[in-house]
Amino acid sequence: MSSKIPSQDNTPQPVKMHHPTAASADLYEKRRKIQPRYTSGLFEIWRNIGAWSVLGFYFLTAWLTWDGRQALLFDLPNRHFYIFGWTFWPQDFILLSWLLIIAAFGLFAVTVLAGRVWCGYTCPQTVWTKIFLMIERLAEGDRNTRMRLDKAPLSLNKIIRRGIKHLSWLLISLATGIAFVGYFTPIHILMQEIVHQTLGPAESFWIGFFTVATYLNAGWLREQICMYMCPYGRFQSVMFDRDTLIVSYDHARGEPRGSRRRDADPSAQHLGDCIDCELCVQVCPTGIDIRDGLQFQCIACAACIDACDSVMDQMGYDRGLVRYSTENALEHGKPIHILRPRLLGYAAVMTVMVSLFVYTLSTRVPMGIDVIRDRNALYRESSEGMIENSYVLNIMNKSQETEHLEIDLSGMPQGAQLEGRQQLTLAPGEMRSVTETVEDDPSELKEREIPIEFHLINKDHPQQNVDSTSRFFAPSSP
């Protein structure tokens, strides 16, 4: 029987004495390299579906087009965010924040239901690490071979295998960096710039940054990101309740653990179903032993379930010694209780939030008008004796069509004049500043301050008309 692999322990370990009377301890445990064993099984299929869906979305979405432009593009220099058929401006930031709040809330609800399934199946750190591990397995062999290679002295075989692995990791990291920047610079232009070596400094920096970050995170740091750096991993346990689905070891069924012959009767040996093969530990990407109970390092990838099920099959025992279960089910034998008030509350709030968001988005008018008063003077008197106020109108066409617009005014006494450009044509996504002057005869102006309203009239789509209020100032009445 192989010796037990210790589970992760963050307790500082005492180290050598520097002084006869004083012992010192490292603040951090030295990292123990984890070489996870590959396992197949039902949950590996789900992990693969999750991983390839994330990778497919990440690498292919940048190439999708919508109405002749990149479907998902964050055009920071022009401050336009294109998300499929919608164009968002900085003024729409509230909608994007709302979307992020809905996503965060959805993550909370999923965590209450099934623990860290996000971490185990779809988190980019897990997905990229999984791909890097797959490459490592192809280049260097299975777990035992890799562990032997780690200990082996430098040789041509080791250099070639390591070289292939690191080169492949770097190529994937580079592709990741390029795809990331491709969401900010149109990917077709970016690719041309790469081919013609005309990349700008900002693009070069960010491609380099994300290449290095991906290579280090997925190739070297791996589980340390989940264990020490990810804030979600640290606070997710406060969202758990006793009915949250977690990957758990059935202590009552498995203990006392012990090895035995395949055909032996465990009850005769006073043994539980755990044969102490340690396969569940060897497949664990964070190197923990699920038999020690729920630990914050567990990312709920369910690799230990697949491994243990395969052992149970070989032994002819029922599957599920390690399984998705709940604290209530394991400790008190209660049935798994999914539809509970807390979760229904989350679902109700999510439904309201998503409905409101969809309604706001679908009724959003893709025109905008901001009116800024001339701050230099409250009013001016023209050579003809008229009272003038000046305004700068920022007109926005947030749609993806050319729009023919007209500016109008209301609120002033009859006879007031609107000078300046009153008809304009704006290209898709164009913003234009227009200076307008409102003038009137002082004899008509009975109030010192008159509330007025500018109207932006869309001649082709009247349902997209928008207004903005301002004030007109006149000298005090005698």
CB of residue 325 vs ligand SF4: minimum separation in angstroms?
12
CB of residue 351 vs ligand SF4: minimum separation in angstroms?
30
CB of residue 222 vs ligand SF4: minimum separation in angstroms?
12
Radius of gyration for the chain, computed over Cα atoms and rounded to the nearest angstrom:
32
Among the listed residues 455, 374, 380, 366, the one whose alpha carbon sits nearest the alpha carbon of residue 411: 455
CB of residue 322 vs ligand SF4: minimum separation in angstroms?
5
d(CA 378, CA 473): 6
295/400 with CB nearer ligand SF4: 295
Is residue 286 packed enough to be buried (19+ CB in 10 Å), middle (13-18) or exposed (0-12)? buried
294/407 with CB nearer ligand SF4: 294
6/12 with CB nearer ligand SF4: 6
d(CA 314, CA 322): 15
143/257 with CB nearer ligand SF4: 257
d(CA 418, CA 339): 62
Neighbours of 328 (CB within 10 A): 16
301/456 with CB nearer ligand SF4: 301
DSSP state of 446: -
CB of residue 26 vs ligand SF4: minimum separation in angstroms?
25
Q: Is the dihedral of CA 322, 113, 48, 142 positive or negative?
A: negative
222/398 with CB nearer ligand SF4: 222
CB of residue 128 vs ligand SF4: minimum separation in angstroms?
16
283/371 with CB nearer ligand SF4: 283
123/275 with CB nearer ligand SF4: 275
133/303 with CB nearer ligand SF4: 303
**Range 428-441 burial, b when 16+ CB lie within 10 A, else e:** bbebeebebbbbbe
The residue ranges that bind ligand SF4 (CB under 6 A) are 247, 249, 254, 257, 274-280, 283-286, 288, 290-291, 298-304, 307-308, 311, 321-322
Neighbours of 359 (CB within 10 A): 10
CB of residue 397 vs ligand SF4: minimum separation in angstroms?
51
Cα-Cα end-to-end distance for the chain: 105
Vertex 449: Cα angle to 447 and 450 (nearest 5): 85
CB of residue 142 vs ligand SF4: minimum separation in angstroms?
17
**C-alpha torsion 162→167→173→176, nearest 10:** -140
What's the length of the chain? 478
CB of residue 289 vs ligand SF4: minimum separation in angstroms?
8
CB of residue 343 vs ligand SF4: minimum separation in angstroms?
22
275/387 with CB nearer ligand SF4: 275
d(CA 348, CA 422): 48
Q: What residues contact residue 331 under an 8 Å CB cut-off, 6+ apart? A: none
Q: How far is CA 349 from CA 101, 352, 363, 411, in A?
A: 12, 5, 21, 42
Among the listed residues 118, 137, 143, 141, the one whose alpha carbon sits nearest the alpha carbon of residue 53: 118
Enter the tokens of residue 298.
Answer: 């567990």
Residue 256, preceding peptide bond in cis (omega within 30° of 0)? yes
308/412 with CB nearer ligand SF4: 308
187/330 with CB nearer ligand SF4: 330
CB of residue 125 vs ligand SF4: minimum separation in angstroms?
13
Enter the tokens of residue 243.
Answer: 């009915």
Cβ atoms of residues 402 and 366 within 8 Å: no
Cβ atoms of residues 426 and 398 within 8 Å: no
Q: What is the DSSP string of 170-182?
A: HHHHHHHHHHHHT
Q: Is the dihedral of CA 78, 80, 81, 85 positive or negative?
A: negative
CB of residue 100 vs ligand SF4: minimum separation in angstroms?
27
